């Protein structure tokens, strides 16, 4: 996970501390308080679009946002964005002796930030900075040093330098107990450990269909453990997307360590994931989506179940 993502997550956690500090500390400078409101997102009602320079994050529907009308936005990133926008505060006006150099920063690396609710511009300001300070300024207004309370040390300007790959929804596989048809986890070197989970439909006397999950070829199964394992597939996330077509294509003919095949009633959620451990990290290739991603090894290990783990104790020995 990139430093920017870590800092964004940290900002979300510290939001509640920021609120507490805001209550405890009163600013007697009326002009500054009034100006601060122009940078802080006090009310999120109706907000459906952000622009950061050329990058656009907009609401697509009730549950989904997109970035640059290209990718779905990750929920955690979106929550962190709102948290950051709610937490921005003014530290002080830029001293007169530094004003010209700060204005120069806006000209060199400033980012225009616009927040919209429908066609109405709710907020619009500019953000700039250097390695030590971050600044915000209204159009034709005065520059102010800004910060996020609670020990947030990353330059705020960098948060608004939007990389669409970092903001992509990192969910790469998903299903539910109501839609999962089958799941298999296969190992190239140890096929005896291959796991094949299938949904068995049962016709009841009432005419209502029901069913359960079982292991192919096995009569006795540790169902509580199996169902807990399957629950992890409700939302499988990657660490990052890897934009390397040459590497992706080379892995198509390579022998994977393991192969995960998920079949869902919604075909859009069905896919095959090939896993490749490497010196630079654990990679996974999604055959249907044609995406190459980086996986957290510890997290992935929880998804790589083996048949023996779900057999009754006597059989698994």
pLDDT above 50 for 89: yes
pLDDT above 50 for 113: yes
Name 41's Cβ contacts closer than 8 Å, sequence gap at least 6.
47, 82, 85, 86, 88, 115, 122, 123
Q: What is the 3-state secondary structure (H, E, C) of 146-195?
A: EECCCCCCCCHHHHCCCCHHHHECCEEECCCCCCEEEEEEEECCCHHHCE
Does residue 88 sit in the same domain as residue 113?
yes
Name 96's Cβ contacts closer than 8 Å, sequence gap at least 6.
none
pTM: 0.77
Buried b or exposed e, range 89-106, using 16+ CB within 10 angstroms: bbeeebeeeeeeebbebb
Q: How many C-beta neighbours within 10 Å does residue 58 have?
A: 15
* Three-class DSSP category at 7: helix
With respect to residue 315, please indicate whether it lies within any of the assigned structural domains: no
> What is the predicted pLDDT for the residue at 151?
60
Over residues 273-289, the mean pLDDT reads 94
Residue written as token pair 């609401």: 59
Task: Please answer whether residues 148 and 18 qualify as being in contact, where contact means their C-beta atoms are separated by less than 8 angstroms.
Answer: yes
Distance from C-alpha of 133 to C-alpha of 145, rounded to nearest angstrom: 7
Domain's final residue, options 137, 165, 193: 165
Give, for 50, the enclosing helix (H) or strand (E): strand 49-52
With respect to residue 316, please indicate whether it lies within any of the assigned structural domains: no
* Three-class DSSP category at 295: strand
Does residue 24 sit in the same domain as residue 84?
yes
Q: Where are the alpha helices (DSSP H) in 110-148?
A: none
> What is the predicted pLDDT for the residue at 176?
96
What tens digit of pLDDT does each residue of 17-61 get? 444 444 344 444 444 444 444 788 888 899 999 999 999 999 999
pLDDT above 60 for 13: no
Does residue 215 sit in the same domain as residue 242?
yes
pLDDT above 60 for 6: no
Domain range for 109 is 3-165
Does residue 83 sit in the same domain as residue 229?
no
Domain's final residue, options 165, 191, 208: 165
With respect to residue 214, please indicate whether it lies within any of the assigned structural domains: yes
Does residue 208 sit in the same domain as residue 160?
no
Does residue 305 sit in the same domain as residue 262?
yes
């Amino acid at each position: 996970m990139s430093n920017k993502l870590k800092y964004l997550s940290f900002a979300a956690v510290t939001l509640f501390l920021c609120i507490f500090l805001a209550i405890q500390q009163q600013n007697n400078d009326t002009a500054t308080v009034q100006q601060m409101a122009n940078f802080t997102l006090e009310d999120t009602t109706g907000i459906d679009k952000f622009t950061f320079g050329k990058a656009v994050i907009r609401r697509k529907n009730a549950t989904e946002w997109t970035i640059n009308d290209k990718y779905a936005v990750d929920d955690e990133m979106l929550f962190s964005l709102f948290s950051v926008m709610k937490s921005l505060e003014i530290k002080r006006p830029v001293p007169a002796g530094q004003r010209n150099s700060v204005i120069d920063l806006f000209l060199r690396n400033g980012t225009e930030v616009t927040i919209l609710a429908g066609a109405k511009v709710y907020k619009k300001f500019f953000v700039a900075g250097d390695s030590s300070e971050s600044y915000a300024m209204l159009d034709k207004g005065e520059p102010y040093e800004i910060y996020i309370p609670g020990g947030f040390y990353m330059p705020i300007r960098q948060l608004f330098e939007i990389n669409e790959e970092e903001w992509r929804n990192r969910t790469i596989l998903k299903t539910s107990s109501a839609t999962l048809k089958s799941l298999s986890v296969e190992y190239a070197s140890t096929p005896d450990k291959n796991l094949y989970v299938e949904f068995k439909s049962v016709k009841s006397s009432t005419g209502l269909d029901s069913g359960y999950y079982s292991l192919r070829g096995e009569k006795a199964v540790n169902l509580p453990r199996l169902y807990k394992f399957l629950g992890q597939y409700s939302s499988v996330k990657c660490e990052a997307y890897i934009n390397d077509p040459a590497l992706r294509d080379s892995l198509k003919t390579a022998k994977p360590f393991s192969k995960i095949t998920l079949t869902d009633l919604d075909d859009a959620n069905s896919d095959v994931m090939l896993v490749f451990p490497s010196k630079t990290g654990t990679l996974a290739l999604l055959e249907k989506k044609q995406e190459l991603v980086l996986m957290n090894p510890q997290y992935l290990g929880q998804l790589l179940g083996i048949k023996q783990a779900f057999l009754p104790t006597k059989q698994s020995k």
